[in-house]
Amino acid sequence: MTNRNKIIAGIELGSSKTATVIAQVTSEESSNQENINIIGVSSVPSKGVKKGQIVNIEESVESTISSIESAERMAGNNLDSAFISLGGAHIHSQNSHGVVAVSDATGEIVSSDIDRVIEAASAISLPASREIVHVLPREFVVDGESGVKDPVGMSGVRLEVETHVITASNAAIKNLSKTLIEAGVKINDIVFSGIASSYAVLTETEKELGCVLIDIGAGTTSVVAYVDGSLTYSGVIPVGAKNVTNDIAIGLRVSLDTAEKIKIFLSTSSNKEKDGKDELDLSSLGISEVSKVSKKTLIDGIIRPRLNEIFTMVRLELEREKIINRVPSGVVVTGGGARTIGVNDSAKRMLSLPVRIGIPSGISGLIDDCLDPAFSVPIGLLIYGLQQEVSESGGIKFPLKLNLPGKGFIHKIIESIKDLLP
């Protein structure tokens, strides 16, 4: 018996596609379990987005509306609000530390102490062009005792927190917000696409042991690393699967559309055909520019070097952050680029870690279209949204996003005080 049916939605404005997923949240009275039931899915080619950032608002609004309308028709429901993903090379992260004295005279830690210590940790110096997107608590320290995940109810006089702070460009967030407002959608929350993907494809065990998620999009590759169950690093590399397509286009002297067709054909047929033929017949794809190409040349000479480059860049980032030896669970590769032929081998070779392809899980309903690495971000947005709601309705709420007053807020206050002065 269901007692609540709520509609939630996730929208990803990527470099190659704008994806919208609408789901119904049903909660079972018997088990108190909430389920995500997909009722509408759509993916349209994106316009006005380059390397994860909006470069033309008009075009991005057009493709967003087209994606939303298509998902609404399938769901038979109108969409008024959604969780939105944020990507692009402007995303940076850092780890920060906060300390407060416990306010209660008895020394018992309450949720307001947690809010205060997280606010203290988020007081980092930022240029005016950047703002905080997420403040994620990694661990709490109570009176010098580290490794505490939930300090509420514990006793102590000094509360510390280690947090992971993700920041982004102000302009990128404003352009994203403007696109969604013009498309007629209220934004529930803006979530970094790497975090959204991790909600959809990573297991609790993987996070606990330590793992790296690599989300290969068309224009960029998002990387998040978990160590001991908490997010330790997140970043974006400005190279993606589109670069593989460009390389094929240059190598074979064909158009980008043809190169994309060849890449997809190669990646999908490789699982079916094991006939040992090196020659690839392209006439069946309706390609007239080139009729036959060597598989070996394509895979070893064009695709692999680019994949190796992407994973080498990831490795350098992980080595710089001293994470590479702290992730025994290995690497999970997801995103549309995870379907490229040879991804597994390249990742294993370059990172020297176990590798698996991440497919979204934890959903039901119209999942045929969604059980694909390309849908990790919008599915992750739904799971993120549901978890946020659960944490708000009961139990401890860790703010995944802190809406701290920015410069504009302070300025307004000063101006209003000035107005009152004689």
Task: Measure Cα distances from 162 to 122, 130, 136, 149 in Å.
Answer: 10, 21, 9, 11
- Please determine, for residue 218, whether its predicted confidence score (pLDDT) is greater than 50: yes
Give the residue-averaged pLDDT of 120-130.
93
Confidence of residue 395 (pLDDT cuts 50, 70, 90): very low
- Please determine, for residue 413, whether its predicted confidence score (pLDDT) is greater than 70: no
Q: Domain locations in the chain? A: 92-168
Return the half-sphere exposure (C-beta side, CA atoms, 13 A cut-off) of residue 391. 14
Instruction: List, in sequence order, every residue forming a beta bridge with 193; answer none if it has no partner.
Output: none
pLDDT in tens, 137-176: 999 999 999 989 999 999 999 999 999 999 999 999 999 9
Q: What is the pLDDT of residue 3?
A: 42
Confidence of residue 287 (pLDDT cuts 50, 70, 90): confident
Determine phi and psi for 353, rounding to 5 degrees.
-135, 160
The continuous run of DSSP H or E covering 146 comes out as: strand 145-148
Q: For the ranges 19-23, 88-92, 104-108, which has the lowest average pLDDT?
A: 104-108
Task: Measure Cα distances from 130 to 127, 170, 193, 382 in Å.
Answer: 6, 5, 18, 26
Q: What is the pLDDT of residue 2?
A: 43
How many CB atoms are closer than 10 A to CB 296?
11
Give the residue-averaged pLDDT of 375-401.
74
Inter-residue contact 185 to 140 (CB < 8 Å):
no
Q: What is the pLDDT of residue 393?
A: 53
DSSP assignments along 246-304, one per residue: HHHHHHHT--HHHHHHHHHHHHHHTTT--S---EEE-GGGT--S-SEEEHHIIIIIIIH
Stronger pLDDT, 274 or 60, i.e. the higher one: 60
Q: What is the pLDDT of residue 392?
A: 61
Alpha carbon 26 to chain centroid, angstroms:
24
Q: Strand order of the sheet with strand 34-45?
A: 186-192, 81-86, 2-13, 17-28, 34-45, 364-365
Task: Measure Cα distances from 275 to 270, 271, 290, 393 in Å.
Answer: 10, 11, 22, 57
Task: Measure Cα distances from 327 to 120, 166, 373 in Å.
Answer: 29, 21, 21
- How far apart (Å, rounded) are the C-alpha atoms in residues 257 and 389? 42
How many CB atoms are closer than 10 A to CB 261?
18
Q: What is the pLDDT of residue 59?
A: 95
Q: For the ranges 86-100, 174-188, 252-266, which has the lowest average pLDDT?
A: 252-266
Q: What is the pLDDT of residue 283?
A: 75
CATH match for 92-168 among 3.30.1490.110, 3.40.50.620, 3.40.30.10, 3.40.228.10? 3.30.1490.110
